[in-house]
Structure 1
Amino acid sequence: MPAKYYYPTGGHPGQDQLLTDRAVFTQAYAVLPKGTMRDIVTSVLPFWKDTRLWVLSRPLSGFAETFSQYIMEITPGGGSDNPETDPTAQAVLFVVDGTATLTVHDATHELAPGGYAYIPANTPWTLQNDTSEMLRFHWIRKAYETVPGLPHPDVIITNENDIAPKVMPDTDGKWATTRFVDPNDLRHDMHVTIVTFEPGAVIPFLETHVMEHGLYVLQGKAVYRLNNDWVEVEAGDYMWLRAFCPQACYAGGPGKFRYLLFKDVNRHMPLGKTQL
């Protein structure tokens, strides 16, 4: 059965609601609960028609500096013939609701829920909602880090339902990752994957590493360890982690816990410039 994905719909809480929520921003991580994604915090972009978006993360000095992530919402007939104004930006699109008509170069594709597209930097593309239903998708952007001697990656169009998840060793199949890109393909400097935990599964140690993360919970709930804190998260929540933020989790059940994960990979660490 195809997976179901959570997506925000906006609106506003009533005046009788308490202000208390789970939103937090620390020096090591931020959590944006689904309840923060209301009409009042949407944005719009140049050259996008009948479109609004929630900005989940953006490069921020001293925090996570490599990527931005949006949830796009496009009404019927909306879209863009000039979606990306930065020629250095590569993109990953992941559809969670509706159907997108994506044209890259001269090839047109329909992306249904679970649809994934990788679009290299400086690649012409357009995206339209040609249906009578709403379209919602994640758009993750990162400036591509060119390496002399390595070609740029190719366009990738696929769907998570067509990819067999890779089971993590020694987990009895309880922890798996759907990989859209070969981890050994060094042309890529970012990975966007889907991580799936069965109820009761865990990350059994505090991961502490250089990769920055964006984690959007697509399904289920869990208790996540972020730096020194245990934080409850559920479908629709977003976690934004800087480099070296310790992290682990327990999947809570009763169903699967799944999230869309960004991380920067496969490049040297930039060094400060000095005079020789």
Structure 2
Amino acid sequence: MTDLATGPGSNADTALLTAAGDGVNRRLSDLLATGANGDPACYLADPDAARAVDSDPVLYTAHRDILPPTRALGAEWFADLCTYQPGQLPGGELNRSIGHWNTPAQLEVFEVLSGRVLMITAWHDSSGSPVLNWQACGPGDLVAVPFAAWHQTSVLDGPAVVFNIYTDLPGTEQQHTSRHAAQHAEIKYRSSARVEITAIRSATGFTLTGSPRGRDHWGRGVQAVEPAWLREAVGSDGLVALHTSGDQLSRLVDAARAHLPQAQPWPEGERP
């Protein structure tokens, strides 16, 4: 059996990619896609420059269900892997994911296996105030997304390989599950208001930017670091081992419920 441990010095990214198959390629055209209502799927720093490109490069490849689901705590846990290409989009924006909102019940945790990425996260806190965080992550670093928050991955140094697990915790009413959203692009990427914030390449590595409305609403953003509770909950063997065994997922759930913010609905009158 292939060793999928993700501790220091492991080859988890190589082992997972060997088992991954082809995956689903996400291209520049996916960032330019629009929903049924005609709204763009995501905010781009320079959409005109992106539309002017003759080619349609692959930005990243999503390997869904890279490992078999794990049944634990009355829920199914799913595991995905994304491989991000290096480089930047027309206009200087970092290569990136589409970005999307998680469901209110969704617990999602990422671990970077190789390369370096920038995780941008946005939500509204219990008072309705906007919160914008960013975390620069290298191999072994972990990120947990607040419940019902929006998040986007940008590539600082690639290729970058990012593993994640997710589930819907029981007890929260919601319109659809995270699993259903993952299987339907119209729900995952185009059913909620986009966050008009992204990252562009700069001399210092990157700069957060956005539309005037996005910058006015979300502000400049605050640097986040990996929280101690998340590292303790995942354990020294890493996220792949945690998902594969399932033995300590209750520790992760308890810690997430105690420490992760629960995003609030957009304040009345402010939703785009």
TM tier, smaller? 0.3 to 0.5
Q: TM-score, normalised by structure 2?
A: 0.43
Larger radius of gyration: 1
Q: Judging by fraction of residues, say which structure has more helix.
A: 2
Q: Please report the TM-score for the alignment, with normalisation by the length of structure 1.
A: 0.43
Task: Give 1 or 2: higher strand fraction.
Answer: 1
Greater relative CO (CA pairs within 8 A, separation 6+): 2
